[in-house]
Amino acid sequence: MNWTLALPEIVLGCAGLAILLGGVIPRKETFFPVSMAVIGALVLTAALVLGQAEGTAFLGQYVSDAFARFAKLLILAGAALGLTLALDFNERAGIGRFEFPVLVLFATLGMMVMVSANDLMTLYMGLELLSLSLYVIAAFDRDNPRSAEAGLKYFVLGALASGLLLYGASLVYGFAGTTNFDRLADALSGGTVGTGLVVGLVFVMAGLAFKVSAVPFHMWTPDVYEGAPTPVTAFFATAPKMAAIALLMRVLTGPFGDLSAQWGQVIWLVSAGSMILGGFAAIGQTNIKRLMAYSSIGHVGYALMGLAVVNDTGYRGVLVYMAIYVVMNLGTFAVLVAMRRGGRAVEGIEDLAGLGRTDPGMALWMAVFMFSMAGIPPLAGFFGKLYVFLAAVQAGFWTLAVIGILTSVVASYYYLRIVKVMYFDASAGALDARPASLTVVMAASGLLTLFFFLFPAPLIAAAQVAVAALAG
């Protein structure tokens, strides 16, 4: 069975059970020590992932390759830094309970299983472990009606998406006779493909599109982003999004690679719709978390542009884009978590007014992230868009590339509006002093975003190796 290939997941799962056991022992303070233990477990797991061998395990249901390692390291980094953002926030908000970091750990375990899935059953197990954890942490501030509403909406719509995916998987199994990705690829490589199998694939894609919040399955995103506690929103916007995009890539390019003519058209439409909605729907937003929700829908559209191209250049563009997106988002949400005035969290764009004078450091980092998300050179966000746009143009997807460029221009308006509010509007009053943990996340993300153009080679080379493993 070669179970040692799954050692990172096994260690993380066992660590989660041990930490959970330690957390229930009555003591005065549990949130901070449990959080630090979880961050330590995530770092240990990352070290194990770096040393992970390649191959398949558990009768072909689990795969370890360079693509999985690339995605897992980004997921673990997003989870660890997302949890770092919650250290001070949760204590102040009165939700500093030890269950929170444990749920983040098990969500991360689910994501790691997802990206190493080589079977529809493994995929579903990982996805459900992630989803069940996310439903709870979305509603973690249970005394806040908005948080409870966010959790309920995410649960109801998430259950619908899970049902669609499971129905699609059952159709695929019924028409192909297997759920294993390798055997599915062999079954679909020759001869005509039945309509039932294509319908099954569409249902599977619908379930996965919900997880990446792509149009037309985006409806949960603004309400959940706005209602959930800000560190939870930061976590939602980074690690699970990376995991879902990686899973979508593995499912479409692996077992269903020979159906690229069919799914490529669907991804084209989803990408275009996401870019258009993300570009225009955010313009009128006054709540910055809601604005970031529509922004994330737009960014998913840009990433999916690389997948719609259906070639290695496009896939490499997706991975580079998502890596940069995770870094930019973590930095942006570090600023949003730091937005407190008089001990109360504030979320309006106008609450950033005059930040350039009251807190020049935080305003500078926020400006860097906003310029980067707008795609202004030489910041990292420009290169992310450059790689997916180049892939689309080289493959002759001119219409999609033009839609991407035009929606980028539209989206620049609301990113630059935030910069204008920070530097040119009358001050709304100084924000509360922020903890050192937020400053560290801001600065680390900001420096990577600012100076990416000096050392892009390691990320591009890692993405190239990951794509080679995916194409395999």
Q: Mind listing the pLDDT tens digit for each residue in 18-34?
A: 998 887 776 667 888 99
In a domain, 10, yes or no: no
Mean pLDDT value of segment 217-245: 92
Q: How confident is the model at residue 137, as a pLDDT?
A: 93
CA distance 280 to 272: 12
Token pair recorded at residue 103: 């749920």
Q: How confident is the model at residue 65, as a pLDDT?
A: 92
In a domain, 386, yes or no: yes
213 sits in the region (left: phi over 0; alpha: psi -120 to 50; else beta) called left
Q: Among 62-76, 102-116, 173-187, which is the least confidently predicted range? A: 173-187
Cα 394 to Cα 386, 404, 407, 428, distances in angstroms: 12, 15, 20, 48
Is the per-residue pLDDT at 192 higher than 80?
Answer: no
In a domain, 4, yes or no: no
Domain count, the chain: 1
- Residues of the chain with pLDDT > 90, as a percent, come to 67
In one letter, which amino acid is 262?
Q
Mean pLDDT (the chain, rounded): 91
Is the per-residue pLDDT at 92 higher than 90?
Answer: no
Q: How confident is the model at residue 31, as a pLDDT?
A: 85
- Residue 48 class from Cβ within 10 Å (0-12 exposed, 13-18 middle, 19+ buried)? middle
Is the per-residue pLDDT at 325 higher than 90?
Answer: yes
Token pair recorded at residue 413: 């308006």
pLDDT digits (tens, 9 = 90+) for 427-454: 878 888 888 889 999 999 999 999 999 9
Q: How confident is the model at residue 191, as a pLDDT?
A: 63
pLDDT band at 267 (very low <50, low <70, confident <90, very high): very high
Is the per-residue pLDDT at 457 higher than 90?
Answer: yes
Is the per-residue pLDDT at 238 higher than 80?
Answer: yes
Chain center to CA of 117: 17
Q: How confident is the model at residue 224, as a pLDDT?
A: 92
In a domain, 266, yes or no: yes
DSSP 62: E
In a domain, 449, yes or no: yes
Q: Which residue has the tokens 């529509």?
A: 294
Domain that includes residue 392, residue range = 259-472
DSSP 193: P
Q: Which residues contact 147 (CB under 8 A, 6 or more apart)?
A: 138, 139, 140, 141, 227, 228, 229
Mean pLDDT value of segment 391-411: 94
Closest to 70 measured CA to CA, from 472, 447, 468, 382:
468
pLDDT digits (tens, 9 = 90+) for 334-377: 999 998 888 788 888 898 888 889 889 999 999 999 999 999 99
pLDDT band at 254 (very low <50, low <70, confident <90, very high): confident
Q: How confident is the model at residue 471, as a pLDDT?
A: 78
CA distance 378 to 391: 19
Q: Which residue has the tokens 């749920």?
A: 103
Token pair recorded at residue 170: 């059952």
Is the per-residue pLDDT at 472 higher than 80?
Answer: no
Token pair recorded at residue 235: 């976590």
pTM value is: 0.95
Q: Which residue has the tokens 């809601």?
A: 290
Could you tell me if 367 and 354 are in contact, meaning their C-beta atoms sit under 8 angstroms apart?
A: no
In a domain, 225, yes or no: no
In a domain, 264, yes or no: yes
In a domain, 269, yes or no: yes
Q: How confident is the model at residue 1, as a pLDDT?
A: 59
